[in-house]
Structure 1
Amino acid sequence: MTVPVTDGRGPPWVRRTDHVLRPDPDRVLARLFLPGQEIGPSGESRSAAVLGRVLALDDDEVDRELRDLVARFGDRHHDIEATWDEHFALVRHRVAGARQLPTNRRRLAGAYFTHEYSVEAAALFNPSMVQHPDQSGLPAGSTRLLMTVRGTGEGHVSSMEIRTGTIDVAGAVTLDAAPTRTLPPVVTEPRFVRAVFEHQLADLDGEHENAGFVLAALGPLFDRADLDAALDDLRAQRLTRGSAVRTTEWFDRIARRSYRAEFPPGSPWSERVLMPQSPAESHGIEDVRLVRFAADDGTVTYLGTYTAFDGRDISIQLLRTHDFAAFSSEPLSGPGARNKGLALFPRRIGGRYVALSRADRESNAVSVSDDLLRWGEPVVVQRPEHGWELVQLGNCGPPIETERGWLVLTHGVGAMRTYSIGALLLDLEDPTRVVGRLACPLLTATGEERSGYVPNVVYSCGAMKHGRTLVLPYGSSDSATRIALVDLDALLDALRPPSTTASRLARSRRTDGPP
């Protein structure tokens, strides 16, 4: 448990706690390791050569080696032997008589095609916080919290992790024990949504007659077999339908951006790690902005927008879950979903979904959608104005509903590439209308927060309201995660009406706001 302590920098109504979540290099996943795909001098792949050497070991050495591996790695994983079995199954086609091999030899061979990947060896940062789905058994005035964090490992590949804890009536934050092991999900193809393909194809240049032919054969929901059948019909007409090959590639690329990921029911929440699963996110699931979304009928779904990075290009994906055990991921499209930082409002406004957007890479804007999948032309509501935000602006997570308006935490980049956290207040009924903004940041990196992988950065992907306190988790210098507590009433009082120039600019650009 910790009690907030006052920091010398920033407003007195912002109090940093002494929580620091640092990356733990001992948190590892067992992943497939291939010694090399190239063909050796003998004409065989290196994988085949390694298998040959392993299977040539005598029985005593096999048993001795396997016992040593279990002793060294068994406690670091839930079922390392099952992983070795799975990995051997992936390469057994290179072994004559593989099915007749004894279990210990198969398992040892699998160990040679396995390696540990440290999911947060480099950093643990950019958190987002919501109320935990389970609020049972708590003292009056306490809230159980759930926080997603971005773990970054070898090759700067980022994953989504989970942490849990509570905040009590006095504002004391207690985080649950940090996990020591990791648990990957089982990933499968989902039931595809035709609208996803329609929206994605609309953003592609070129002739779309072939795409229409394929889509006409598909229902609102379909599976991979349905898609393959429609694409086979297209290939059968390739002599009379130009660009059939390119159309097939389009559909396959879009299909691979959607997936389901399921963790075992009852597994520890904090051990669940969502690593990149699709080619579009092969180099990172970055900066999940999580929101507890309430539908018009009161149904609650947890939605998280995030940046998918393939090593060259970025795109926006949407996570959906009810229980943080089963997730679905699908791509977003449209003018409002360009660039990073799409953040969803926690409910519909005027019958439409609404999100914060930074499509122009430097301003805060509002975009709307009819289906959560395609986002319209964004309306700029805030441009860089003060010294600490002149390089660019963006949001620090989904808006928080208050009686005075939608509270938006923002980030601004100033001189020396210093990141600070500010705030903006938007009208409840018309979020394209700015009610107030901070002239000075509420949080700037200070002390040891300034040092890290990317110095001088404080950044959040979402805060949680607890009574009249804002619980603000934030990443410091792209290295660690910390928590600050903000007096909500003092913050709302500090939000001043925007300047006349800024207000006029916002009004002049309202072309696609909520009804």
Structure 2
Amino acid sequence: MVTALFLPGQELAAPGGSRSGGVVDRVLALTAEEVDAQLAELETLFSSRHRDLRVTWERHFELVRHRVPRGGLLSAPRRRLLGATFTQEVSIEGAALMNPSMVPHPDQTGLPPGALRFVMSVRAVGEGHRSSIELRTGVVDVDGAVRADLPPAVAVLPIELATGYARTAFEHALDELGGDRADSDFVLDALPLRFTRAELDGALGRLRAERLTRATTSRTVERFEAIAASSYTVRFPLDSALQERVLMPRAAAESRGMEDVRLVQLDAGDGSGPQFVGTYTGYDGHHVCVRLLRTEDLTTFSISPTSGPGAQDKGLAVFPRRIDGSYVALSRSDRESNAVCRSSDLLHWEAPVQVQVPRRPWEVVQLGNCGSPIETEAGWLVLTHGVGPMRRYSIGAMLLDLDDPTVVRGVLDRPLLTAYEAERSGYVPNVVYSCGAMRHARRLVLPYGCSDTRTRIATVDLDALLGELAGPGRARTGPAAVEKASRRT
């Protein structure tokens, strides 16, 4: 659960005219004794479910203070009760926890030999079918046994920080929008490669000053404002646990959901050290887009839009390191086949090169990836998903060349993982789906969502799987690794 501002009459499900004024009047009419009693009850019921509840109430009161009659002096308890009246709990995982990805935890201290601590992202689906990003942690021991840490008692939201902008991101976004670029170029020419909100305001101000001699001033300003609003930076409290942290939609492009983040630990190869990068699907209720998440410490997160022919539709998954100086990603821009594309900055993705098309019975509807490739001595191990008759999802695998990932070295003819009978029923039945696995020694640790309802973890014998993919027969009939896989809820 998280708290959110509640405006009577303007609910998401059935918006209408505001009733806030009448609600304020009724709270103001309560006696001091009624106010104290109601606050005491609310604190008993909700203080264990949320951090800093009084701070939240005070903040929400400030948002509706303008509705309080002028000159009215309110006691602190009445202010808090007004704030509480305009506060609601929102379920963030009431419908499902699904479609996970897994990476090594940045803190590996205090573990026995051979153990690996992990961070797992999950797509949490809550009230209104709005998706958010949550994090879970756990440990895989030397024998491959997986232990997930207990889920958190509370959820913590971040605060928004001032964000910086990249000029190239604006250039790419404006290219996709098309139209006359004269006014846009006037603004861009006034900006450095990296710039602040104040510098953007200054450049737009200079454009407005010339509006009488420029044809598209208003439209250009609107475009720059929209591009700027699609990027943001947030930071979680340092005293919050990793599992308590929740990323909820903020930008218009993701207002109805942040879906299926594909998290990977990326080595940029520039001496900056590893960082965590995730691509996810933003959904605004009508359209989807690929968005980029970056963090060095899983505390501060920067969110940006992406562009280019390789970043269309869903399912972009970044390779864990550069190849020949370029960032590389799996793409499914045509909505049905797997491809590989490149980028110089992680933001703009070039035209993809197709590497796999649907042809097997279990993938005749469409293909896609199940997260970022995993580097092995035999090649890039790519987990895929296929959709077949009755919209049944399966997880497969293919092997790409280490030096040229547009070259396919092997493909499984049969699925690596399909839904057990107990996994088939759910919000979306007959689905197994992952957004990214993790290598641990000679095992593959594969978290997956089943039927858009719950999350489980399988472990796979890596040598057996690579043997099927890279052995003499290469694309052979069903992986021996499947027989050695184990699953845990």
TM-score strictly above 0.5:
yes
2:121 aligned with 1:148: yes
TM-score in terms of structure 1 length:
0.89
TM-score in terms of structure 2 length:
0.93
Cα 1:232–1:53 shift into 2, 3 Å: same
Structure 1: gaps spanning 5 or more residues: 1-27, 39-43, 500-515
Determine the structure 2 residue equivalent to 1:117. Answer: 90
CA distance in 1, matches of 2:10, 2:101: 39
5 Å-filtered alignment, 1:447-462, equals 447-462=421-436
SS at match of 1:35: coil
CA distance in 2, matches of 1:313, 1:356: 21
2:224 aligned with 1:251: yes
Of the candidates 417, 421, 430, which is equivalent to residue 443 of structure 1? Answer: 417
SS at match of 2:336: coil
Contact 1:333-1:374 at 8 Å conserved across structures: yes
Contact 2:314-2:333 at 8 Å conserved across structures: yes
User: Deviation per CA, 1:231-272, whole angstroms, max 9, x where unpaired?
Assistant: 122222222211211111111111111001100113111010
Post-superposition offset of 1:96: 3.0
Contact 2:138-2:147 at 8 Å conserved across structures: yes
Of the candidates 449, 455, 467, which is equivalent to residue 441 of structure 2? Answer: 467
Post-superposition offset of 1:205: 2.2
SS at match of 1:444: coil
Contact 1:434-1:498 at 8 Å conserved across structures: no
CA distance in 2, matches of 1:188, 1:142: 36
Q: Which is worse superposed, 88-97 or 439-448?
A: 88-97
Post-superposition offset of 1:493: 1.0
Contact 1:189-1:258 at 8 Å conserved across structures: no
Cα 1:307–1:58 shift into 2, 3 Å: same
Q: Give the share of equivalent positions with the same residue, in percent.
A: 59
CA distance in 1, matches of 2:466, 2:94: 38
Contact 2:138-2:146 at 8 Å conserved across structures: yes
5 Å-filtered alignment, 1:263-302, equals 263-298=236-271, 299-302=273-276
Of the candidates 447, 451, 456, which is equivalent to residue 482 of structure 1? Answer: 456
User: Deviation per CA, 1:38-97, whole angstroms, max 9, x where unpaired?
Assistant: 9xxxxx952122111111111111111111111111111011111000000111012134
Q: Which has the higher contact order (CA 8 A, sep 6+)?
A: 1
Name the count of aligned residue pairs. Answer: 467
Post-superposition offset of 1:110: 0.4
Determine the structure 2 residue equivalent to 1:8. Answer: none
CA distance in 1, matches of 2:321, 2:370: 18
User: Which structure 1 residue ranges, 4+ long, deviate > 6 Å from structure 2?
Assistant: none
CA distance in 1, matches of 2:211, 2:9: 37
Contact 1:37-1:47 at 8 Å conserved across structures: no
SS at match of 2:349: coil
CA distance in 1, matches of 2:399, 2:125: 32
Of the candidates 112, 120, 132, which is equivalent to residue 159 of structure 1? Answer: 132
Contact 1:214-1:231 at 8 Å conserved across structures: yes
Contact 2:8-2:18 at 8 Å conserved across structures: no
CA distance in 2, matches of 1:72, 1:428: 56
5 Å-filtered alignment, 1:159-178, equals 159-178=132-151
CA distance in 1, matches of 2:275, 2:72: 45
2:188 aligned with 1:215: yes
Q: CA RMSD in A?
A: 1.4
Post-superposition offset of 1:336: 0.3
Contact 1:33-1:114 at 8 Å conserved across structures: yes
CA distance in 2, matches of 1:236, 1:352: 40
User: Deviation per CA, 1:329-354, whole angstroms, max 9, x where unpaired?
Assistant: 00110000001000000000001100
User: Deviation per CA, 1:2-48, whole angstroms, max 9, x where unpaired?
Assistant: xxxxxxxxxxxxxxxxxxxxxxxxxx10100011259xxxxx95212
